[in-house]
Structure 1
């Protein structure tokens, strides 16, 4: 990564931390335990890839900074809620997330359940508060609907359901890809499109290009996750390494092998770059984020 990209990324990440803290109830507000646990789940950790995608796509369309802030925070709240629930004993049952105890371990299972529920509601509250002088009301409704669809049974939750039902099964690569298009890819795709929708109208060709880009990075993100789960340690990942194999879950590595999975991630990175051709140099940050997703070590 070059210095300019790193500076941009750190600036967005720091700004998101400040903004998300402001969008959340203070820890001392009743019910204090729930609000403290919500902030524990959301703040002070994570790569913030989804907010970075929102801001990078918004730069293509000259989107208002305030609208982008709210869209990015909303996406990250949905993502954080999904992690809280995913880590619970009834799901993947993990004790470590972002290098610290998971919410049900740090608090309790009932609190973790409510934290996820409340963060999901908070996401829509935050996004709906966008300035309608900066984004037309009809566009804002479309953004809210897009986020809801990406999070629901036709998106992230649906992919998680397929994942839970697939433990111990021998999936084909096509079936695995479908699962991850929903579980991981839907929210990544929503991040890109939300950022773009926050600004000027896009042509059909441009929207198609963004969908192609999003599909490629969504799959690449999961392929790299599977590679890292098989090769990195828990301290590096900030979560329990090797858990997919231990739980007998189908992954790209278990289906394709390690080296073919690494090669697939690189192929998807190139496809992401190619998809952005209609935007020329204006899509530099999106290209750099595709590189980050594929070349990351945690």
Structure 2
């Protein structure tokens, strides 16, 4: 006997012995759903009419929101209420947006285009870009400090601080900047370490967030995210070689122009593509413990290595 579907992204089909969860949304639809949820939440919580609020909303707009998607999917796997998980998804998007705003500044990568739009310091000025990034970072932790996250909220906050800070994303950015002035290009081990910190740490937090909130084992999702984050960066390096700025939404071929070591420059284009595919397989295999419920996350891994932006 099949009951009426629950009001969520999933249909629960009960049998006499077990309850099986059957997905009703493919990855593309689930990602669009995430983007709508987070965008609506931004409108609810960032309501200021001052220039700082405008710059924060601008920085949050236009992205794929893949990290927020990972938060919501991991929460779904662990029966975490979507309304709780949504603020965690927005929090990681705030951290990611802040990192891009600062990364684009003239003192770092000096980019004029992000997500197909002028970067924040071009839309306003450098001072406003710094302040918008600062505000997005602190707002992320304000969101996570809400009592609705329950007894594991402190661990969730601690892990995000680690992932975004001196042992995580900021450390990766430091390694990237240092490499630009080094007399010796990075080797494969060094660039893997750099990208695991600069990109991978936020992917790991995103994928583990639902398990952390639920107090569940984070190992499978951490393994998934470790492979996914590296595959994402290799895909970025491939796009920098093969993509066009209009589709990618940012300047391309800049790594080669700067003489930076990338996975493509170190491995070659074909080997880099093969390595990304291997990492995709590893990410998918890490989800075996979740059975069919992990299929949308598997689709996400396949998307990461086939995207054009």
Structure 2 length-normalised TM: 0.89
Which deviates more from structure 2 when the two are superposed, residues 139-148 or residues 14-23? Answer: 14-23
Q: 1:261 aligns with which of 250, 265, 272?
A: 272
Root-mean-square deviation (Å): 1.4
| Matched pairs, number | 284
User: What is the aligned partner in structure 1 of residue 150 from structure 2?
Assistant: 136
* Alignment partner of 1:183 is 2:201: no
Q: 1:165 aligns with which of 174, 178, 193?
A: 178
User: What is the aligned partner in structure 1 of residue 142 from structure 2?
Assistant: 125
Question: Are the equivalent residues in 2 in contact too, given 1:70–1:130 (CA < 8 A)?
Answer: no
Q: Distance in 2 between matches of 1:82 and 1:6?
A: 25
Question: Are the equivalent residues in 2 in contact too, given 1:58–1:197 (CA < 8 A)?
Answer: no
Q: 2:60 aligns with which of 17, 33, 42?
A: 42
Question: Are the equivalent residues in 2 in contact too, given 1:213–1:275 (CA < 8 A)?
Answer: yes
Deviation at 1:128, TM superposition (A): 1.3
Q: What runs of 5+ residues in structure 1 fail to find an aligned partner?
A: none
Question: Are the equivalent residues in 2 in contact too, given 1:64–1:198 (CA < 8 A)?
Answer: no
Q: Distance in 1 between matches of 2:247 and 2:162?
A: 33
Question: Are the equivalent residues in 2 in contact too, given 1:78–1:120 (CA < 8 A)?
Answer: yes
| Superposition pairs of residues 85-234 of structure 1, within 5 angstroms | 85-131=102-148, 135-137=149-151, 139-167=152-180, 169-199=184-214, 201-203=215-217, 207-234=218-245
Question: Are the equivalent residues in 2 in contact too, given 1:216–1:272 (CA < 8 A)?
Answer: yes
Residues 269-292 of structure 1 deviation map (CA, whole Å, 9 limit, x = unaligned): 000011111111121121111111
| Superposition pairs of residues 16-27 of structure 1, within 5 angstroms | 16-26=38-48
Structure 1 length-normalised TM: 0.92
Q: Distance in 1 between matches of 2:65 and 2:196?
A: 19
Q: Distance in 1 between matches of 2:44 and 2:256?
A: 39
Q: What runs of 5+ residues in structure 2 fail to find an aligned partner?
A: 1-23
For the residue of structure 2 that corresponds to 1:249, the secondary structure is: coil
